[in-house]
């Protein structure tokens, strides 16, 4: 007697091995195994269709934010929330 098991041929790749490639489907573990902050962006950018990106595990530990970027973001938010004075030519049109 034989027993057959339906198998799907698959393989795993490391982030740096496939850097620069575009893959039709990806399945990611975004967790503590991501040891460089750039890896999350690299991994997510492999696939050109969001519908084909599957995130199997997600941990905030996988994401590292550069503190200087937080300061720049906060500065831009402050600028965006202030009202800028209208130029004289625009005031004349009102």
Q: Name which residue leads in pLDDT, 45 or 64.
A: 45
Sign of CA dihedral 74, 80, 81, 82: positive
* Strand extents, DSSP E, 5-72: 26-30, 53-58
pLDDT of 72 over the 90 cut = yes
* Cβ atoms < 10 Å from Cβ of 53: 17
pTM for this model (two decimals): 0.49
Confidence of residue 89 (pLDDT cuts 50, 70, 90): low
Query: Given this model, what pLDDT does residue 92 score?
Result: 62
Query: Given this model, what pLDDT does residue 74 score?
Result: 94
Extents of the domains making up the chain:
16-93
Confidence of residue 47 (pLDDT cuts 50, 70, 90): confident
């Amino acid at each position: 007697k034989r027993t057959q098991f339906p198998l799907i041929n698959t393989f795993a790749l490391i982030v740096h091995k496939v850097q620069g490639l575009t893959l039709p489907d990806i399945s990611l573990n975004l967790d503590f195994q991501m040891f460089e902050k750039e890896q999350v962006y690299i991994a997510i950018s492999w696939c050109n269709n969001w519908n084909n990106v599957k995130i199997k595990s997600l941990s905030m530990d996988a994401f590292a934010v550069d503190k200087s970027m937080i300061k720049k973001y906060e500065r831009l938010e402050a600028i965006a929330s202030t009202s800028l004075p209208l130029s004289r030519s625009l005031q004349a049109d009102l």
